[in-house]
Amino acid sequence: MTSLAPPAPRGSTATSAQGGRSGSVAWLAAPAFLMFVAFAIIPLIGVLVLSFTQWDGIGDIHAAGFDSWRSVLRDPGLVHALWVTFLIMILSWAFQTPLSLLIGVYLATRSRYREILAVIYFVPLLLSSAALAITYKALLDPNFGLGAGLGIPLLQQDWLGRDNLALGVLVFVVSWQFIPFHSLIYQSAVRQIPKTMFEASEIDGAGRLRQFFSITLPQLKYTVITSSTLMVVGSLTFFDLIFVLTGGGPGDATRALALDMYKRGFQASLMGPASAIAVILVLVGLGLALLLRRLGGRDATESQMEGV
């Protein structure tokens, strides 16, 4: 990262802008670059620095060596938060991937009926996480929600009041929100599979299932990896939803990493340990992205660069 700074003075070519000669365009990238450095790169370095300090969020910042790291790493809360994060990640991945894939394949076929379904399927994309969390909170309320209203005892559970149920609800709401997005990715990927492949297999007498497993699925390999990367790395950052839906509760049952960071930093005013958690968050995210990249041969960024 340090090697990035020196070339900046090339912005001095700004004077030749009127000239319009080649090589004089670098300054055009300067505003975006400066903005990004100021509010993303410097904070990224800053969070590492802050993890070695003591700060309550208001007063002065003091150097504190490895104190925050020591307290965070010794705290069983970290292991718990990692475990909750991992559970949410795995469960929501396992739930979303097959469903998104099937819905994507289903919607890829162009028919008027499916077009209409698609219009409705994608509506959940429009709601904010906060709005969704609020809706489900009301819907699942044991006293005022759906179960009580319908009088069905099975639905009348204290959905958000029991550890495993709350986690399950979270996974469901996450899936409800994001399956449309991943279906959309799969839909456009399926539409890019050469039609001739299906025609050839049809001549060979392949059935629908055979086609799915022998053509569609292998052809979607990179899409599965892109979508999985987005799901897995994205699940690290679930904050709005958990914060509004369960607040990390009941107890600490849904206190995932990002929420743990917020609570330590902005509620308990321990910015040092919270920064340490944030560093862990970045490292876990990078680790997972690299792992998935190795699994698939390329990663989300690369696959983004193709296509279009």
Partner 1 sequence: MATTLTTAPGTTTPTRPTQPAGGGRRRGRFNLPAGFAGLIWLAIVVIPLYWILITSLKTQSNYFLSNPFAPPTEPTLDNYRMVIEADFVRYFFNSAIVTAGAVIPAVLISFMAAYAIVRASNRSRFLRSVNAVFLMGLAIPLQAVIIPVYLIIIRLKMYDTLLAIILPSIAFAIPLSVLVLSNFIRDVPRELFESMRMDGATEWGTLWHLAFPLIRPALVTVTIYNGLSIWNGFLLPLILTQSPTQRTLPLALWTFQGQYSINVPAVLASVVLTTLPILALYAVGRRQLLSGLTAGFSK
Q: x/- site string to partner 1, residues 83 to 122, per CB under 8 A?
A: ----------------x--xx-xx-xxxxxxxxxx-xxxx
Q: What amino acid occupies position 188?
A: S
Query: Among candidates 224, 263, 236, which has minimal Cα distance to 86?
Result: 236
57 near partner 1 (CB under 8 A): yes
198 near partner 1 (CB under 8 A): yes
Q: What amino acid occupies position 237?
A: T
Which of 54, 85, 156, 216 forms a contact with partner 1 (CB under 8 A)?
A: 216
Instruction: Dig out the tokens for 113 from the structure.
Output: 């009926």
Give the torsion sign (CA, 270, 273, 275, 280): negative
DSSP assignment string, 239-303:
-HHHHHHTTT-STTTT--HHHHHHIIIIIS--HHHHHHHHHHHHHHHHHHHHHHHHHHSS-HHHH
Query: Would you say 97 or 226 has its CB closer to partner 1?
Result: 226
Least separation in angstroms between residue 53's CB and partner 1 is: 10
Which of 130, 200, 217, 268 forms a contact with partner 1 (CB under 8 A)?
A: 130
Q: Which region, judged by CB under 8 A, interacts with partner 1, from 35-43, 63-71, 77-85, 160-168?
A: 35-43
Give exposure, 52-90, as e/b (b: 16+ Cβ within 10 Å). Answer: bbbbeeeeeeeebeebbbebbeeeebbeebbebbebbbe
Q: Which region, judged by CB under 8 A, interacts with partner 1, from 62-70, 83-91, 159-167, 238-246?
A: 238-246
20 near partner 1 (CB under 8 A): yes
Which of 62, 66, 163, 202 forms a contact with partner 1 (CB under 8 A)?
A: 202
d(C-alpha 259, C-alpha 140), whole Å: 22
Which residues, numbered 246-305, are part of the site for partner 1 (CB under 8 A)?
Answer: 258, 261-262, 265-266, 271, 274-275, 278-279, 281-282, 285-286, 289, 300-301, 303-305
Q: What amino acid occupies position 97?
A: T
37 burial (CB, 10 Å; 0-12 / 13-18 / 19+) is middle
Q: Which region, judged by CB under 8 A, interacts with partner 1, from 20-28, 76-84, 86-94, 156-164?
A: 20-28
Q: x/- site string to partner 1, residues 175 to 194, per CB under 8 A?
A: -x---xx--xx--xxxxxxx
